[in-house]
């Protein structure tokens, strides 16, 4: 009933007025699976932080849906505790008061028709009492096997379509399937109910400042882009390492593995952003066009056995703690062939990148928690210095540190002070914490706000998801038939085979 149609001609808005933040229009958020970890640790705090920064519309409402016998107050208490514990910004009573007025809880199971009727009534009541204007986003923080039930229920009870100019959006989390076929099935299920443009797939990596900065670094500057091609770049390493094991996620993880869990989405997205051409503008459509183009140009190595590696962490000591091996973890079959570590080599078949390998690796129980993109440059074609002088000189590199210690490092050679000519690697460093705000917004804050604003820039579209599976599926199929994961000691940087894989190309992994 109260649409955002006036947005375009609001006399109080002006493109020049950059102090005014983007505030979402009247809207509400419904979270399914609201009792889950993600919801408590990320979503609820993000909602509060957004409210605290004044970015939520007046009357914003949060509806929880779960199988719990809770009243609205119990739910508010749960959110309160979650916010107190996990929110980034300080707790302010008046912000909380304003926010808490819009909390509702609907108990029920996903198959329960009455519960969805209750949800519908709740939403209608909120429109009346809080002025949410019929605009609601449904956040499916539930295992993918429940997606079909939930979206069908939404459709059946008329919740998936807004009236007149109000909107309804669906937000889903990874995994987006476990291979191409299942991803297509999933997309079909969701798209039957929601329009593709109303489906927001969360890849929280894309909400990170450092990831958005890749585009700024590349396309807002002049000094990097001329080097950003096969004439200067030797190879690219994209690493996402975790120091934790699978913890209690055995049920989800076993059978999925590191490649499906991380490479298919996060690392291929990072690769796309690193390698893509300049988009014609910074809107969702132009971005997806370029990302898709580069993903389609990705070429797998001919001999998968030589250029892909998987591993499982073995019992060992990590950072002063004795930790279990993957096969000893609770709930894991001792004969499991799931990869807890995966490294693959990809090439991109286009004019910019032909012949430049992209090495992607991820794993659990590695040396430390780190995500980074390292662009390693070629050595100087000719050096006037003799080899003794440049013995300690490595290859120049530009490293984008995605997390933690977000920033950018450039490594190059410099003369060591002294009488002899001796050249050694030094680094030049930019750290976010040093030059910008000490507290940049959490990825989920940005992404939730974008969902409410309908801004799809930072969300992978279904074509990208499907294209990523096309890249990974042949590798998974090969692994299925050949060999088994190599064991590596927990707390090290992965199996020996991974080092051999790069040594074969005359290269080595960077120690992040």
Partner 1 sequence: MNIDLTETTSSQINAALVKARRATGTPAVGMVLTLVIVTDEGNHYDALKAAREASKEHPSRTLVVIKRPGRSPRDRRMARLDAEVRLGGETSGETVLLRLHGELANHAHSVVLPLLLPDAPVVVWWPEEAPDNPVEDLLGQLAARRITDAAATEDPVGTLRQRAETYSPGDTDLAWTRITPWRSMLAAALDQRHSKITSAVVEAEAYNPSSELLGMWLADRLGVPVERVVSDGPGLTAVRLETEDGTICLDRHNGSLAELAMPGQPDRHVALNRRDTAELIAEELRRLDPDEMYAAAIKFGVTKLGSQVAEERVPPSSDARSDASSDAEAGGAGSAAEAPRKTTAAKTGAAKTTAAGKTAGAKPKARKAPAE
Catalytic residue annotation: 266
Which residues have a Cβ under 8 Å from the Cβ of 285 and sit 6 or more positions away?
Answer: none
With CB under 8 A as the contact rule, the residue among 44, 51, 241, 360 that binds partner 1 is 51
Instruction: Tell me the residue ranges of DSSP E strands in 315-464.
Output: 316-318, 321-323, 341-348, 357-363, 370-377, 397-403, 407-415, 423-431
Report the residue from 7, 145, 302, 481 that binds partner 1 according to the rule CB under 8 A: 7
Give the integer Cα–Cα distance in Å for 304 and 302. Answer: 6
Least Å distance between CB 132 and partner 1? 10
Does residue number 90 form part of the binding site for partner 1 (CB under 8 A)? no
CB of 124 to partner 1, least distance (A): 13
Shorter beta-carbon distance to partner 1: residue 26 or 64:
26
State which of residues 431, 483, 504, 505 lies at the interface with partner 1 (CB under 8 A).
431
Cα dihedral 353, 359, 362, 363, rounded to 10, equals 170
- The region of 193-201, 267-275, 288-296, 433-441 touching partner 1 under the rule CB under 8 A is 433-441
Q: 262 to 301, contacts with partner 1 by CB under 8 A?
A: none
> What is the phi-psi region of residue 131: left when phi exceeds 0, alpha when psi lies from -120 to 50, beta otherwise?
left
Using CB under 8 A as the binding rule, whether residue 4 contacts partner 1 is answered as yes
CA distance 451 to 458: 10
Binders of partner 1 among 107-166, rule CB under 8 A?
A: 128-131, 133
Beta carbon nearer to partner 1, 386 or 434: 434
Question: Among residues 277 and 425, whose Cβ is nearest to partner 1?
Answer: 425
- Restricted to residues 401-420, the positions that interact with partner 1 (CB under 8 A) are none
User: In this structure, what DSSP letter does residue 467 have?
Assistant: H
CA atoms of 413 and 392, how far apart (whole Å): 9
Write the CA distances from 374 to 125, 313, 397, 410, 426, integer angstroms: 52, 24, 7, 10, 16
Q: Given candidates 28, 33, 59, 357, which one binds partner 1 under the rule CB under 8 A?
A: 59
The answer to whether 98 contacts partner 1 (rule: CB under 8 A) is yes
Are 477 and 468 in contact by the 8 Å Cβ rule? The answer is: no
Smallest separation (angstroms) from partner 1 to the CB of 165: 9
Q: Which two tokens stand for residue 389?
A: 């002088």
Stretch that binds partner 1, among 10-18, 151-159, 416-424, 498-506 (CB under 8 A): 10-18
For residue 347, what are the contacts with CB-CB under 8 A and spacing of at least 6?
A: 298, 299, 301, 353, 354, 355, 356, 357, 358
Q: Give the nearer residue to partner 1 in terms of CB position, either 37 or 125.
A: 125
Residue 57 touches partner 1, criterion: CB under 8 A: yes
Q: Which of 438, 481, 506, 511 touches partner 1 by CB under 8 A?
A: 438
Q: What is the DSSP letter of 245?
A: -
Q: Which one, 17 or 386, has the nearer CB to partner 1?
A: 17
Is residue 18 a contact point for partner 1 (CB under 8 A)? yes
Q: How far is CA 133 from CA 20, 96, 137, in A?
A: 23, 22, 12
Q: Which residues contact 110 (CB under 8 A, 6 or more apart)?
A: 32, 142, 146, 149, 150, 153
Crossing angle (nearest 10°) for helices 44-52 and 443-453: 80
Tokens of 458: 């930072």
> Which of 8-16, 150-158, 221-229, 262-270 is the region at the interface with partner 1 (rule: CB under 8 A)?
8-16
What is the token pair recorded at 237? 């390493």
Smallest separation, CB 101 to partner 1 (Å): 6
**CA 110, CA 116: separation in Å to the nearest integer?**
8
Residues 382-401, interacting with partner 1 (CB under 8 A): none
Q: Work out whether 333 is an interface residue with partner 1 (CB under 8 A).
A: no
Measuring CA to CA, which residue among 235, 218, 321 is closest to residue 279? 218
The binder of partner 1 chosen from 43, 45, 49, 58 (CB under 8 A): 58
Q: Are strands 308-314 and 168-173 parallel, antiparallel or unpaired?
A: unpaired
**Residue number with CB closer to partner 1 (351 or 415):** 415
Interatomic CA distance for residues 106 and 123, integer angstroms: 10
- Among 25, 28, 279, 454, interactor with partner 1 by CB under 8 A: 25
Binding of partner 1 by 23 (CB under 8 A): yes
Q: How far is the CB of 89 from partner 1 (least distance, A)?
A: 12
Q: How many CB atoms lie within 10 A of CB 492?
A: 16
Residue number with CB closer to partner 1 (16 or 334)? 16
- Our finding on whether 20 is near partner 1 (CB under 8 A) is yes
Does residue 322 belong to the site contacting partner 1 (CB under 8 A)? no
Footprint of partner 1 on 449-508 (CB under 8 A): none
Adjacent-strand bridge partners of 309: 343
Q: Least distance from C-beta 207 to partner 1, angstroms?
A: 20
Number of residues that bind partner 1 (CB under 8 A): 46
Residues of the shown chain interacting with partner 1 in the complex, contacts defined by CB under 8 A:
2-7, 10-14, 16-21, 23, 25-26, 51-52, 54, 57-59, 92, 94-95, 97-98, 101, 128-131, 133, 429-431, 433-438
């Amino acid at each position: 009933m109260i649409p955002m149609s006036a947005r375009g001609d609001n006399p109080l808005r002006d493109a020049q007025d950059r102090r005014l933040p983007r505030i979402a229009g009247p809207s509400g958020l419904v979270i399914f699976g609201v009792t889950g970890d993600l919801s408590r640790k990320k979503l609820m705090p993000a909602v509060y932080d957004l409210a605290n920064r004044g970015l939520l519309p007046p009357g914003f409402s949060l509806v929880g849906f779960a199988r719990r016998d809770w009243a609205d107050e119990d739910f508010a208490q749960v959110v309160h505790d979650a916010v107190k514990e996990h929110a980034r910004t300080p707790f302010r009573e008046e912000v909380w008061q304003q926010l808490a007025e819009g909390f509702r809880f609907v108990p029920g199971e996903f198959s329960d028709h009455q519960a969805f009727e209750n949800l519908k009534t709740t939403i209608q009541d909120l429109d009346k009492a809080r002025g949410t204007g019929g605009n609601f986003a449904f956040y499916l923080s539930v295992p993918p096997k429940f997606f079909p039930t939930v979206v069908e229920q939404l459709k059946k009870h008329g919740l998936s379509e807004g009236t007149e100019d109000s909107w309804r959006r669906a937000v889903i989390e990874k995994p987006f399937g476990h291979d191409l076929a299942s991803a297509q099935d999933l997309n079909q299920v969701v798209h039957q109910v929601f329009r593709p443009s109303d489906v927001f797939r969360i890849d929280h990596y894309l909400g990170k400042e450092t990831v958005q900065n890749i585009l700024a670094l590349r396309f807002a500057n002049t000094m990097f882009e001329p080097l950003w091609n096969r004439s200067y770049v030797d190879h690219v390493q994209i690493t996402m390492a975790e120091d934790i094991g699978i913890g209690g996620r055995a049920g989800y993880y076993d059978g999925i593995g590191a490649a499906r869990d991380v490479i298919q989405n996060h690392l291929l997205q990072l690769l796309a952003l690193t390698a893509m051409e300049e988009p014609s503008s910074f809107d969702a459509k132009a971005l997806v066009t370029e990302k898709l183009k580069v993903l389609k140009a990705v070429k797998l190595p001919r001999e998968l056995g030589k250029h892909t590696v998987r591993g499982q962490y073995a019992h060992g000591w990590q950072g002063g703690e004795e930790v279990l091996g993957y096969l000893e973890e609770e709930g894991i079959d001792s004969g499991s062939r799931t990869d807890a570590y995966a490294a693959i080599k990809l090439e991109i078949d286009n004019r910019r990148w032909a012949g430049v390998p992209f090495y992607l690796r991820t794993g659990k129980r590695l040396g430390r928690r780190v995500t980074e993109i390292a662009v390693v440059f070629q050595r100087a074609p000719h050096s006037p210095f003799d080899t003794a002088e440049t013995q300690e000189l490595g290859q120049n590199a530009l490293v984008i540190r995605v997390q933690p210690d977000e920033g950018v490092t450039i490594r190059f050679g410099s003369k060591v002070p002294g009488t002899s000519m001796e050249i050694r690697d030094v680094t030049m460093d930019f750290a976010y914490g040093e030059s910008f705000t000490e507290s940049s917004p959490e990825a989920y804050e940005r992404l939730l706000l974008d969902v409410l604003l309908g801004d799809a820039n930072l969300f992978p579209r279904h074509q990208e998801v499907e294209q990523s599976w096309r890249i990974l599926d042949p590798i998974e199929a090969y692994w299925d038939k050949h060999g088994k994961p190599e064991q590596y000691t927990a707390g090290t940087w992965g199996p020996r085979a991974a080092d051999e894989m790069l040594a074969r190309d005359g290269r080595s992994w960077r120690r992040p």
